[in-house]
Amino acid sequence: MSHSRTVEIEGHIIDSGTMQRCFGAVMDLDGSFDVEQFDVGTHEEAESYCRMRVSADDEGTLQAILHELHQNGAVLEDPSDVTLVAAPDDKVVPPDFYSTTNHPTEVRYEGEWIDVDRIEMDCALIVDPDGPDGEPRAYTKVLNAVEEGDLVATDESGIRVNPPERPRGSGGAFGFMQGGVSSERPSESTIREVAAELRDVKAAGGNVMVVAGPAVIHSGAGDALAELVDAGYVDSLSAGNGFATHDLERSLYGTSLGMDVETLEHPRKGHKHHIWTISEIIRAGGIEAAVEEGIVTEGVMYECVRNDVDTVLAGSVRDDGPLPDTITDAVEAQDAIRDQAHDADIVLMLATLLHSVAVGNCLPSTTKTVCVDINPATVTQLLDRGSAQAVGMVTDIGTFVPTLAEFVLEGDDAAVAEAGESA
């Protein structure tokens, strides 16, 4: 006996590839479909609508198909309200709880669709019937933050996912679901587009987040990143103990992990510079204190202190020291990164696999993301973890950051000149 359900899909579902993905999902899982209604949008702004009946030989296969369709924005015809079950204990969710995607999501509660706040992947979806303003609120919680009694969404009924669609008339580096990894891309033109986007975000009062690895300092790109911080183009920095240590070492000793970045020489006892740096920062009482005392006089961390940039240094088991500013509790570090990520309008991920994937997991799919690394595996793993919105560039970080800074600040100079001419 065949099992079947009717689903509806609407939006720019043709040119965004949604229908192709939905048809493919049904057939890949050995199901079948019958398109009952298909209304095609006939101009650029018009949306399309599809209603189709999906069938499978058994209920388990049908549920697997419906799950895939749900991930692509399909909803059951005449959807019911979301199914809510109270969490039985702190950090414990009900069986079959709904695990979120990173796409904008809505839940149907008491007959109304409610936007889900703070969307990110792999979280529980909580509904508070009496939110802060007395109205129902839906939001995400990581599993370790779930509290006994939280009303947790289960299965997929009454939940609607809205994957990114192709923006009308846009393209370039930030075109629809850019994704992919290639060293063949025209790097300079792409960097110019990234620079223009940074300027647009800041002009609109938006937030720029930078995720940086130690290679930024080793490659000599630290000075350029410090210039961007000083010019106001970085609102938050997410990095590790290593990045900060090597940047501070550069200020104290002129080296990064014992190597002179300019001459590539290794001074005598240079291999001890990083641990001496940590000792001096500990002695001062932290990075901010070291800047205030004149111990640290240049570099990215110096500019972050001077410009009040929100900085999170997340620790790991291999850290030397660590620096007093490094968050060694993994859950606390995750929460700090999550707060930064949810405030960001654009994120630059620079030569770090560990921190790029960590931040990527916290980002909604609507946040513009640029991931740059000489190793294509870094960009590939980020995309494979669900950050399909990322623009991936396989190039030398020591070239990318200085070029980006040049294009961003070049735009500042042009704006100043234009303002002078108009005056």
pLDDT band at 417 (very low <50, low <70, confident <90, very high): low
Distance between start and end Cα atoms, the chain: 78
Of 66, 79, 27, 73, nearest in space to 48 by CA = 73
pLDDT band at 132 (very low <50, low <70, confident <90, very high): confident
pLDDT for the residue numbered 268 = 67
Let me know: does 391 contact 186? Beta carbons within 8 Å. no
Pairing of strands 83-86, 105-109: unpaired
Rounded to whole angstroms, the Cα distance separating 21 from 245 reads: 46
| pLDDT tens per residue, range 5-38 | 999 999 888 878 889 999 999 999 999 999 999 9
Mean pLDDT of the chain: 89
Reply yes or no on whether the pLDDT at 266 is more than 80.
Answer: no
pLDDT for the residue numbered 423 = 46
pLDDT band at 357 (very low <50, low <70, confident <90, very high): very high
The single-letter code of the amino acid at 402 is P
Query: Cα dist. 405→194, 204, 226, 234, 290 in Å?
Result: 10, 19, 9, 11, 26
pLDDT for the residue numbered 400 = 95
| pLDDT tens per residue, range 161-181 | 988 776 555 555 565 445 555
Pairing of strands 151-154, 83-86: antiparallel
**Domains of the chain, start order:** 1-77 (3.30.70.2690), 79-163 (2.40.420.10), 188-420 (3.40.50.10690)
Residue with tokens 């190039």: 395
3 state DSSP class of 93:
coil
How far is Cα of residue 397 from the mean position of the Cα atoms in its chain? 19
Q: Which two tokens stand for residue 74?
A: 């399909």
3 state DSSP class of 114:
strand
Of 226, 196, 199, nearest in space to 210 by CA = 226
Q: What is the DSSP letter of 45?
A: T
Q: Which two tokens stand for residue 106?
A: 């809505």
